[in-house]
Structure 1
Amino acid sequence: MGWERQRTVLSADRMTSPADRLHPALVHHIVHHYRWPRLRPVQEMALDPILDGHNTVILAPTAGGKTEAAFLPLVSRMLDEDWQGLSVLYLSPIRALLNNQEHRLREMLTLVGHQVGVWHGDIPDSEKERIRHEPPSVLLTTPESLEGMLISRRTSAAQMFAHLQAVVIDEVHAFAGSDRGWHLLAVLERLSRWTLPPADVPSPADLQRIGLSATVGNTHDIVHWLSHGSARPRTTIDPPRPDGDLPDVTLDWVATLENAARVLATLHRDEKRLVFCDSRVQAEELTVLLRRLDVETWITHSSLSTDVRSRTEQAFAEASRGVIVATSALELGIDIGDLQRVFQIDAPWTVASFLQRMGRTGRREGTRPNCTFLAITEAGLLRAAALLDAWRHHAVEPATAPTAPFHVLAQQMIAHTLECGTRTRNELLDTTLTLCEAAAIDPIDAEQLLEHLVDEQLLFEDEGVLGLGDEATAQLGRRNFLELLSVFTSPPPFTVLQGPREIGQVSASTFEPGEQVQQTLLLAGRTWRVGTIDWARRKAWVTPMETVGKVRFEGQGPGMSALLAAAHRRVLLGSSAAEEHWSRRAAPVLAGLRDEHGFLQDDGVVGTLEDRTITLWTFAGDRANRRLGHWFRLLGWERVS
């Protein structure tokens, strides 16, 4: 595809290349500022559907050009159609990704005379006030912060969102597979009611929706899910993968975290390496072990402060070699510079996670994506073998939303009432209709839930008009109803500070009330002596020390999918498609596990009895097993796990 503006017209309304539809000013900057000789296939494939207003889901590897694939046509329309005010929202599941994308989008928009803003909990009030008075053309935020704007008395939704045209949802699979996805759909529905539709279109406006994802197994389902409440045409963009050598993947058995550290200290010492751990505690422990072996090591995870994380990621990006230890937060498109190697301790819980992690490498011409698994437990070794088997079968988990999100529906009823002040019963039910239809919630159940909220005084009703109830104000009204925005709650963490500087956050269970001996804490790859603890304000002040401390974080893994469970069966039955990736140390351990499970069958459920305990080998995944356990309890079984 050439960038010269010569067009060969094949028919009265068809051009030789979709890129010829881009605004000339944008093409000028692509050629002379970015110096791109051509668009990537995913970017060219996305032009026509987005320029034509389709709801679109774009699938491409990490750093595969998805962001530009969405924004090049949107910016072109912004120029061609003279969009005014805030016209595009970019929504991300995590703040760190917003900060990371800000520079890229600000550079693009500034070139054509438009502004970019960022809005989340770490943004100063002064900057938010500036955005309220002078909305940028593109605003980067999260769904929760977006809802905060809708319910805020300081933000005029009618002014802020009047000219909104499109919403870009990054890492859309992360929303579609969780309750946050239902929350996102509900907030988009409310948002559209503040947006002015074209003169020839009845209210409410139909915002264009564009989802970005690196790995997902059901792209068509996701664009259908994302389009609930929208009448726009739907398109999925999934460019063919380039032909090339198979990625360089090895599954190794090292038995302990200490051995994993020794391997990491030895292999590829002059290269930049990213090591994934699937728990923050393990990441902290590995960082300490690597530093003891004189490996230049950084650490990043979601419990570290924004300042600590950004400094860490910037330092690693600028380094020429070393190791950064991370959790799933670095699966997403956060820029940490060029990488040569990816390692994984044990294994992630999904093929999608594995693909995103491996996709961090192999971006330079002449290199292959790579990943080395260092298994330290037999369960982790088996899970890694199952992941690789599923991968070689070209299987990726679908992103499937949880069923019956009544808690999200209740939260939305309260939040929308707070947003509008008062609502009639029909108005409130109508606002949540899209969520109910998408989640297959019976309208009668929605009405009963609304009645329950009134009975509990979370809402009050006066002659058919609903308002915020006394209980809602008492329970949720503190800190400008911040608790209402936290529909996905976890126990409040402790903030750890060194003087005035925040290091990160940990679970309260890390500390022991009344403990007289000196407590120590492991955080940010360092050991700290715990000094003052303010239990009321949930803060702890620390100073550095040399000995090894401890740390606890709240949270648990996602559980095993049916796809991964079925792959476990294949591995244990000796029919794995990925044995060529097993190391000489891993192969005999996996062979031993096969021998131990010789009673398994190709299909069906196998039951074993040992010490008066019945074990059912279903290989159906955690969700099915939980349902089965529920039925056993209903039948009178007292101890089911």
Structure 2
Amino acid sequence: MRQPVEVLDLLDPVLGHHIVNALGWRSLRPLQEAAVEPLLGGEDAVLLAPTAGGKTEAAVFPLLTRMNRHGWKGTSVLYVCPLKALLNNLHPRLRTYAEWLGRTVELWHGDVTTPRRRRILSHRPDILLTTPESLESMLVSTHVDHRVFFSGLHAVVVDEVHAFAGDDRGWHLLAVLERLSHVVGRPLQRVGLSATVGNPDELLTWLQGSGQGRRPARVIAPHLGETEPGTAAAPAAPPTAAAPSPSGDIELDYVGSVANAATVIAALHRGEKRLVFCESRRTVEELGEQLRRKGVTTFLSHASLSVAERRRAEDAFAEARDCVIVSTSTLELGIDVGDLDRIIQLDAPSTVASFLQRLGRTGRRPGASRNCLFLALDEAGLLSAAALLLQWSRGWVEPVVAPPEPRHLVTQQLLALCLQEHRVGENLWREWWGGIGPFGPGAAPVVRHLVEQGYLEQDGGVLFIGPEAERRYGHRHFMNLTAVFTAPPEFAVYNGRSEIGRTDPDLLTEEVAGPRKLLLAGRSWLVTYIDWSRRRCFVEPTDEGGRARWSGFGGDRVCSFALTRAARDVLLGADPPVSLTKRAAVRLTKARDAHTDSVHPDGTVVTRLPDGDIRWWTWAGHRANATLAASLPSVVAPQRRFADHWIRLRDDVTPARWKTAVADAAAGMCLPEVDARAVRGLKFGEALPPRLAEATLAARTADEEGARAVLAAPVRFTTLARQ
């Protein structure tokens, strides 16, 4: 490997001068050194590093060098992020780097004003910071000549690529990148930036799209010893291969309520800057209000607060010292909120990967260590936190897996392509996506259905937008077609002319005794007027008594097979190697005593209660249990059938019937049943044949591997005596 000075010399000399003199860096970080040569050579790559590991510079410095060395003109690099706030945060830094070389950087997302967009279109920046949805809007807009604007495009950087790859926004991003490649007539260099994941090779394969196996690619992660080039087609290493060793100051406490959590936070770590993560917007609001009552300088951040409210909070927090900001996952990604002293987590995040991302927000100062205080609000939260920390201590991180069978996005992309091109040859649409994933020959039934139902018109060998698509999606120039998620309806909340945020309409319609009050931005508000037609409500400050609520299509949190099994291990006596307070240890002992009959080290347990209730304690997670329930109809109860930890069985089940049912299930697993309400929540699902919409959701709620692992384990039948 080259020495650091030699690697720095490979960059543009003007850039190297400013790195040393303006930034004061004596050398590049290991990730930045390792990325220079492959990115200068045009390779695709995934750059892995913990939070604040220098990933942005590792990607941008070589690409700026390529830009100058090869004389790229116009918008030649796209920098794509999952959050507008992250783009806003990155813009000043990237603009500084680009200006060193006489290059320009601009923002393009939903909050950018029309006059500014016009300036961008007339003076194309060298680097454009944007989101996938805004890219889609540019491709379909009648105000953007996308062939001219993107004609100089050569490379795409995808920040927080793991956040895309694990859900439908990832499929949407891949499809848009394939269309962009088709527009410019060349493959685009693709560089993904990611925190630690369990399957980096598969993530790189996914990111390459139709370029897989055709373009050189590598995972670059010096801290893991992975910098060698490869085809990105080899099977991924086990999840443990990419996980860091446990480190830092981690403590687990049990507090029992949000009010008690506020008391602990107010009493501990005074004088420090603390970031508190909660798993719901409602908890953020309740904790924020409790902390303010205790005189703690408190700021809030979550998706239903207005942009201005969030920015004020984040700016104030970045400049303050003795304060707390309470947030959902909106501050989990790389938005800079200043120099943090401590992370506090109420209950547990849904994944180890999220915990690593949050933990990485601390320990950035020299001599500081990464830290996190877990405050469990109830026994379930304590068990979830202990299970997550146990998995983390084992060096395990979730593999990032794209959701299977995204047929609804095939629908969205076909309609968007017809908007973009106006007319598409009825047999040429496949070329636009290079045959990736669901966009190959398997999409033909979707195309036929769209034509049959009038979403697309077919005439003279070409496809174009039909009347049904106009009716459903044509409002405001098809703006609803560029977003791949359905958001529940919310009312905007105003105090005078200032928007505070948005609230669930149920809070405005339910019967209440006395004045109607809301809790938003950590304060209580009295509702003074509701504008039903414009979905707005107006409020004035009040002392207390406000309530917060938001609904969504996701329902309760779904636990994975791995984390649910880790919870079982905790109940069987495994302690995570972190500091447990006395309260947490006592409560964990009580939980173990309560679950003595539902866990066994040698397999699963079926318990028959005196009231006749029979439960099979699988400890397999929601998706595996959904798969098992569908595959064992002769022994599973028809109603209230399963949760993350157990499956309810018929009251007439016997060991003999059980053995027959298990043998039948092992011979062929079934997909879970799909609720019709869930199909209605699938964006663009109404444009799919009903059977395909149901099949899409069924595939996404299944875990056959976890189900088979449970079926293969021994089962113990026990009858519990009446207490």
SS at match of 1:585: helix
Equivalents in 1 of 2:253, 2:106: separation in Å? 45
User: Does structure 1 residue 222 correspond to structure 2 residue 193?
Assistant: no
Contact 2:178–2:434 (CA<8 Å) still a contact in 1?
Answer: no
Letter in 1 for 2:591: L
- Contact kept? 1:409, 1:432, Cα under 8 Å: no
- For 1:442 and 1:65, locate their aligned partners in 2 and report how far apart those are by CA, in whole Å: 37
Matching of residue 619 in structure 1 with residue 619 in structure 2: yes
Partner of 1:112: 101
Match in the other structure for 1:99: 88
Distance 2:26 2:466 in 1: 60
Deviations 1:330-374 (A, max 9, x none): 110011100111101111111111111111111111111000001
Q: What per-residue deviation string (whole Å, max 9, x for no partner) do you get for residues 45-98 of structure 1?
A: 111111111111111111111111110101111111111000111111111111
Question: After the TM superposition, which of the residue ranges 384-393 and 627-636 deviates more from structure 2?
Answer: 627-636
1:590 aligned partner? 588
Report the equivalent of 1:389.
Answer: 390
1:212 corresponds to 2:193: yes
Residue of structure 2 equivalent to 1:66:
55
In 2: Cα distance, 1:616 partner to 1:410 partner: 40
Equivalent AA in structure 2 for residue 61 of structure 1: P
Q: State the Cα distance separating 1:419 from its structure 2 match.
A: 0.6
Change (3 A) 1:624 1:282: same
For 1:605 and 1:497, how far apart are their aligned partners in 2?
53
More relative contact order, 1 or 2 (CA 8 Å, 6+ apart): 1
Are residues 1:463 and 2:460 paired? yes
Q: Classify the secondary structure of the residue corresponding to 1:252.
A: strand
Q: Are 1:602 and 2:583 matched, yes or no? A: no
For 1:313 and 1:113, the matched residues in 2 are separated by: 31
**Equivalent in the alignment of 1:11:** none
Correspondence for 1:492:
489
- C-alpha distance in structure 2 between counterparts of 1:300 and 1:538, whole Å: 22
Deviations 1:463-508 (A, max 9, x none): 2211100010111101110111122112222111122221112222
| Distance change (3 Å), C-alpha of 1:524 and 1:32 | same
**Residue matched to 1:35:** 24
Closer/same/farther in 2, CA of residues 304 and 21 from structure 1, 3 Å limit: same
Cα deviation, residue 433, structure 1: 4.5
C-alpha displacement at 1:638, in angstroms?
A: 2.6
Q: Structure 1 pair 17/561, CA: closer, same or farther in 2 (3 Å)?
A: farther
Give the superposition deviation at 1:606: 2.5
Runs of 5+ consecutive residues of structure 1 not aligned to the other structure: 2-6, 9-14, 196-203
Which one of 123, 141, 163 corresponds to residue 134 of structure 1?
123
Contact 2:253 2:373 in 1 (8 A): yes
Match of 1:581 in 2: 579
Deviation (angstroms), 1:154: 0.3
Aligned to 2:110: 121
Alpha-carbon distance, 1:214 to partner: 1.6
Partner of 1:4: none
CA 1:388–1:431: 2 relative to 1, 3 Å:
same
C-alpha distance after superposition, 1:248-268 (max 9, x if no partner): 000011111111111111111
* Aligned residue number for residue 280 of structure 1: 281
1:53/1:232 contact within 8 Å kept: no
Corresponding residue number in structure 1 for 2:655: none
Cα pair 1:417 1:428 within 8 Å, conserved = no
- Cα deviation, 1:285-314, whole Å, max 9, x if unaligned, reads 001101111111111111111111111101
Matching residue's letter, 1:342:
I
1:241 deviates by: 7.0
Residue 444 of structure 2 is aligned with which of 444, 447, 459? 447
Segment drifting more, 490-499 vs 362-371: 490-499
**Counterpart position of 2:223:** 240
| Paired residues of 2:426 and 2:461 also in contact (CA < 8 A) | yes
Alpha-carbon distance change, 206 to 603 in structure 1, aligned in 2, over 3 angstroms:
farther
Amino acid at match of 2:377: I
Deviates more, 1:216-225 or 1:243-252: 243-252
User: Which secondary structure state, in structure 2, belongs to the residue aligned with residue 367 of structure 1?
Assistant: coil
Letter in 1 for 2:209: H
Aligned to 1:293: 294
Q: 2:713: which partner in 1? A: none
Whether contact under 8 Å (1:413, 1:432) holds in the other structure is no
Report which stretch shifted further, 580-589 or 350-359: 580-589
- Which has the larger displacement, 52-61 or 607-616? 607-616
Measure, in 2, the Cα distance between the counterparts of 1:125 and 1:615. 59
Q: Distance in 1 between matches of 2:452 and 2:287?
A: 52
Q: Residues 201-600 of structure 1 correspond to what in structure 2 (within 5 A)?
A: 204-230=185-211, 231-240=214-223, 246-434=247-435, 437-439=436-438, 443=441, 445-512=442-509, 517-555=514-552, 556=554, 559-576=558-575, 578-599=576-597, 600=599
Q: Which moved more, 1:600-609 or 1:241-250?
A: 241-250
TM superposition score normalised by structure 2: 0.82
Q: Give me the whole-angstrom Cα distance separating, in 2, the residues matched to 1:398 and 1:479.
A: 39
Cα distance between partner residues in 2 of 1:261 and 1:515: 27
**SS where residue 560 of structure 1 aligns?**
coil
What CA distance in whole angstroms lies between the structure 2 residues aligned with 1:361 and 1:239? 21
Deviation string, structure 1 residues 547-602 (Cα, Å, up to 9, x no partner): 221122233465212221221121111133x2442221111211121122223123
Which structure 2 residues correspond to residues 3-14 of structure 1 after superposition, within 5 A? none
Residue 524 of structure 1 and its aligned partner are, at CA, apart by 0.7
Residue 194 of structure 1 and its aligned partner are, at CA, apart by: 1.5
Which moves more between the two structures, 631-640 or 535-544? Answer: 631-640
SS in 1 for 2:223: coil
Structure 2 residue matching 1:426: 3-state secondary structure: coil
Give the counterpart letter for 1:45 in structure 2.
Answer: A
Residue number in structure 2 paired with 1:198: none
Q: Does the 8 A contact of 2:629 with 2:636 survive in 1?
A: no
**Secondary structure at the counterpart of residue 251 of structure 1:** strand
Superposed CA deviations along residues 130-155 of structure 1, whole A, max 9, x for unmatched, are 11111101111110111000000000
* Kept in 2: contact 1:429–1:447 (CA 8 A): no
Helix, strand or coil at the partner of 2:428:
helix
**2:40 corresponds to:** 51
For residues 244 and 632 of structure 1, do their structure 2 counterparts lie closer, same or farther at Cα, with a shift above 3 Å needed? closer
Q: Summarize the Cα distance change of 1:517–1:454 in structure 2 as closer, same or farther, 3 Å threshold.
A: farther
Whether the 8 Å contact between 2:456 and 2:464 is mirrored in structure 1 is: yes
* Aligned partners of 1:343 and 1:374 also within 8 Å: yes
Residue type of the partner of 1:35? Answer: G
CA gap 1:49/1:634 in 2 versus in 1, 3 angstroms: farther
8 A contact 2:492–2:536 mirrored in 1: yes
Superposition RMSD in Å:
2.1
Mean CA deviation greater in 244-253 or 497-506: 244-253
Give the 3-state SS of the residue equivalent to 2:372 in structure 1.
strand
Aligned partner of residue 472 in structure 1, secondary structure: helix
The letter for the 2-side match of 1:395 is W
Cα distance, 1:517 vs. partner? 4.3
- CA 1:433–1:637 in 2, change beyond 3 Å: closer, same or farther? farther
SS in 1 for 2:210: coil
Q: Tell me, yes or no, if the aligned pair for 1:609 and 1:615 is still in contact at 8 Å.
A: yes
Q: Deviations over 1:21-51 (max 9, x none)?
A: 1010100111121111111111111111111
Query: Are the equivalent residues in 2 in contact too, given 1:45–1:237 (CA < 8 A)?
Result: yes
Structure 2 runs not aligned, ≥5 long? 226-243, 643-723
In 2, the alpha carbon distance for the partners of 1:193 and 1:253 equals 55
Q: Which whole-Å CA distance do the structure 1 matches of 2:245 and 2:593 have between them?
A: 36
Distance in 1 (CA, whole Å) between partners of 2:583 and 2:145 is 63
Q: Structure 1 residues 611-620 or 525-534, which shifts more?
A: 611-620
**Equivalents in 2 of 1:93, 1:244: separation in Å?**
28
SS of 1:227 mapped into structure 2: helix
**Deviation at residue 540 of structure 1 after TM alignment:** 1.3
After superposition, the Cα gap between the structure-2 partners of 1:459 and 1:637, relative to the gap in structure 1 and judged at 3 Å, is farther
User: Is residue 275–residue 340 contact of structure 2 (8 Å, CA) maintained in 1?
Assistant: yes
